[in-house]
């Protein structure tokens, strides 16, 4: 019988796979765009939603959908992942700021650990 091949050839890529698995533990069907949105916010903590849209070439509708998924309240009254906090910018009330929640900071620590393994 032909055995299944599972030889690890690139441990760095396995680390990236572990990161995706961390997100899938919270939501089995989380889209890649939501993960990218989270990583952008983590790398630019306390950024404006408009900056995220411009830098990721994302529509306002897409960024709203993705940031809602990452916040406490997802669409259609479903709970979100609770990884970020969305709030109105006091300096310009038309802008939304995005920052990591404590749960989001914990996930970032897990991601860094996975990358360093």
| Residue 4 Cα distances to 1, 7, 12, angstroms | 9, 9, 22
Cβ neighbors of 17 (< 8 A, separation 6 or more) are none
Domain contains 58: yes
Domain contains 84: yes
Q: If you count them, how many residues does the chain have? A: 117
Q: CA end-to-end span of the chain, whole Å?
A: 34
Task: Provide the domain limits for residue 81.
Answer: 31-116
Domain contains 41: yes
Q: State the total domains in the chain.
A: 1
Domain contains 108: yes
> pLDDT (tens digit, 9 = 90+) per residue, 53-102?
999 999 999 999 999 999 998 887 889 999 999 999 999 999 999 999 99
Domain contains 26: no
Domain contains 13: no
pLDDT of the residue at 1:
75
CATH no. for residue 52?
Answer: 1.10.10.10
Q: Give the residue carrying structure tokens 């802008």.
A: 95
Residue range 6-26: mean pLDDT, rounded: 88
Domain contains 46: yes
Domain contains 15: no
Question: pTM, whole model, 2 decimals?
Answer: 0.90
């Amino acid at each position: 019988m032909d055995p299944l091949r599972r030889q690890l050839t690139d441990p760095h890529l396995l680390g990236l796979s572990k990161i995706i698995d961390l997100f899938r533990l919270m939501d089995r069907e989380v889209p890649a765009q939501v993960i990218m949105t989270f990583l952008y916010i983590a790398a630019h903590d306390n950024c404006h939603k408009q900056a995220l849209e411009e830098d990721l070439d994302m529509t306002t509708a897409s960024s709203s959908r993705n940031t809602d998924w990452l916040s406490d309240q997802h669409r259609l009254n479903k709970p979100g992942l609770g990884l970020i906090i969305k709030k109105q910018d006091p300096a310009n009330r038309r802008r939304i700021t995005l920052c990591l929640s404590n749960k989001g900071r914990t996930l970032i620590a897990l991601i860094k650990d996975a990358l360093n393994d």
